[in-house]
Structure 1
Amino acid sequence: MKKKIGISYTEVNSPNYWNWFTSDDLGADLELLELSFQKNNVEDIAACDGFVLTGGIDVEPSIFGGAQDYPHRPESFLPERDAFEKLIYEHAKREKVPVLGICRGMQYINILEGGKVYDDIGENANVVHKKAAEDKVHSVSLNKGSLLYEITAQEEGLVNSAHHQAVDPEHLGDGLMISAYSEAGDGIIEALEYKDKSNSGFMIGVQWHPERMKEKESNPLSQKIKEQFIIEVRNYEHH
């Protein structure tokens, strides 16, 4: 039986996540599976050996006590998506299944761990980070004591950017550590992971979009993360 990577439903740019995993990556032993509140395929969650929590619409603010109205707020939220992804993450954490959180995915992990996000990072930071017709590009610096640094061997690098919310460092989720910051001088948190690796599954959260970087095959901040995630999925054993 093939091992399964569960990719959470997203309302934007969904094919990018699927196309990121090439047939060479997947080989004969891995396959991709969509996990979606629309299908409500909760029973498929337990069959997965890894999860990608995708980018997309802002998390419903009442979940973390955020403002109901703020700059660049979406016209409506997707509480069904929030609820479904919470099931995915809780299962992953309990069963130590590898997780990759991308953009909203990383922010939501922080929220589910009891943290908060900024409703909006403000106009100055939005110039550097906010979604536009094309992804913005900026540099990040990595924490040398992090798993992310271990995987990528990069002290700094270029990433793409398309977000107007960010993890609030004053409200970091329980058990999380910051593994990268934006170098734009705005203090934006660019990556998260678990502080205690000894008693948890593999988890990397990134604020950028590795699945759609222009040079994703040659940029370690996409390619190395994907390669390590795939190794973790292949090595995962159901408890």
Structure 2
Amino acid sequence: MRPRPRIGITGPDRGGLAAWIMTARAIRRAGGRPVRITPARHPPRGRLDGLVIGGGADVDPGLYGQDPLHLMREIDASEPATGQRLLAYMLYPLLWLLRRLLRTKHHGGDRARDLLETELIRRALADGLPVLGICRGMQLLNVVQGGSLHQDLEGFYREIPRVRSILPRKMVTLAPGSRLAALTGPAPLAVNALHHQAVDRPGRGLHAVAREPSGLVQAIEASGPRFVLGVQWHPEYLPQKVRHQRLFRGLVRAAGGG
């Protein structure tokens, strides 16, 4: 029997447990073997087959500071189908509570994590490993490749309301013919939004493949056959959404040589 691909998942030393739990679950569901990596928990011996550069609470501080009643109103607004809405009533409050309890308390930069993930990204790209960057991970992937970031997004939302929610309440348009569109399907995709920074100029070999109505980049990917993809949203917090889980399946499939 062929062994499951080993997928490294990065995160901070302090906090980040909610993201680790949900991302590891997504990787297992996709057929992979998750391996946790933090500055204090270095990659284990033996080759990794793929890499997830995870998000971080320091990139989106305070975005979960909403009360459960407000969350229920958001569920009603974002999940019109009865079955999805009933599932959301059970799922999202649990995710909200999990994220509140386990979020990182440190809101500043994380130099040790930056150095670790920069080295991991460079090594993965050099070795041809598939890479998935999530939120902060997408931003760091872009920086490693020489791209730039918007340090604060307030200026993008003067006319368009800024959405901050763990629920999929923001619509993004996917570039036709992109790997992202092939994985999730070409139709506009509803995503969540937990960030306050984003990609400005894509780095070397990277292209914007999803944008929100304001024009802000919501996903980047590398050209060619290699799986190098970054998304601004958090697919790990949308386990019931098949289109989002295809990102993890695509990563594990690529890591297994498929």
Q: 2:189 matched to 1:173?
A: no
Query: What is the deviation of 1:188?
Result: 1.2
Unaligned runs of 5+ in 1: 60-73
CA contact (8 A) 1:146 1:179 kept: yes
Larger mean CA deviation between 119-128 and 143-152 belongs to: 119-128
| Counterpart residue type for residue 48 of structure 1 | L
Aligned 1:152-167 pairs, distance under 5 A: 152-167=184-199
Q: 1:136, 1:162 within 8 Å by CA — same for their partners in 2?
A: no
SS at match of 1:179: strand
The alpha carbon displacement at 1:137 in A equals 1.5
One-letter amino acid matched to 2:52: V
Any gaps of 5 or more consecutive residues in structure 2? 61-105
Aligned sequence identity (%): 27
Query: CA shift at 1:43, angstroms?
Result: 5.4
Q: d(CA) in 1 for partners of 2:142 and 2:25?
A: 26
Give 1:86's match in structure 2, choosing from 118, 126, 135.
118
**C-alpha displacement of 1:233:** 1.4
| Residues 101-129 of structure 1, C-alpha deviations (whole Å, 9 max, x = no match) | 10111011111111111111016639524
1:135 is displaced (CA, Å) by: 4.4
Distance 1:174 1:139 in 2: 27
* Structure 1 position 223 matched with structure 2 position 257: no
Over 3 Å counting, the alpha-carbon distance change for 1:119 and 1:135 in structure 2 is: farther
TM-score, with structure 1 as normaliser: 0.77
Change in CA separation of 1:9 and 1:164 when aligned onto 2, cut-off 3 Å: same
**Residue 157 of structure 2 corresponds to residue 125 of structure 1:** yes
CA displacement at 1:25 relative to structure 2: 2.8
Q: 1:34 aligns with which of 33, 36, 41?
A: 36
2:251 aligned counterpart, secondary structure: helix
Amino acid across the alignment from 2:37: L
Q: Residue 128 of structure 1 aligns to which amino acid in structure 2?
A: R
Q: RMSD across aligned C-alpha pairs, in angstroms?
A: 2.3
Aligned to 2:82: none
* SS of aligned partner of 1:178: strand
Contact 1:135 1:162 in 2 (8 A): no
The secondary structure found in structure 2 opposite 1:21 is: helix
Query: What TM-score do you get using the length of structure 2 for normalisation?
Result: 0.72
Other-structure match for 2:220: 192
Matched residues in 2 for 1:172 and 1:5: separation? 25
Alpha-carbon shift at residue 34 of structure 1 (Å):
0.9
Task: Tell me which of 19, 27, 30 is aligned to 2:25.
Answer: 19
8 Å Cα contact 1:129/1:163 also seen in 2: no
Letter in 2 for 1:174: R
The correspondence of residues 33-112 of structure 1 with structure 2, limited to 5 A, is: 33-39=35-41, 41-42=42-43, 44=45, 47-56=47-56, 57-58=58-59, 75-112=107-144
Aligned structure 1 segments of 4 or more residues deviating by more than 6 angstroms: none
Structure 1 residue 178: deviation in Å? 0.7
Aligned counterpart, 2:65: none
Q: Contact between 1:138 and 1:160, CA under 8 Å: does it hold in 2? A: yes
Code of the residue aligned with 1:230 in structure 2: it is V
Q: Helix, strand or coil for the counterpart of 2:133? A: strand
Partner of 2:70: none
Letter in structure 2 aligned against 1:35? I
Structure 2 CA distance for aligned equivalents of residues 157 and 43 of structure 1 = 36
CA distance in 1, matches of 2:24, 2:203: 28
Whether contact under 8 Å (2:9, 2:52) holds in the other structure is: yes
- Quote the Cα distance in structure 1 between the aligned partners of 2:249 and 2:5: 15
Q: Is the 8 A contact 1:129 1:164 kept in 2?
A: no
In the aligned structure 2, how far is the partner of 1:31 from the partner of 1:108?
A: 24
- Alpha-carbon distance in structure 2 between the residues aligned to 1:83 and 1:47: 20
* Equivalent residues of 1:128, 1:138 under 8 A apart: no
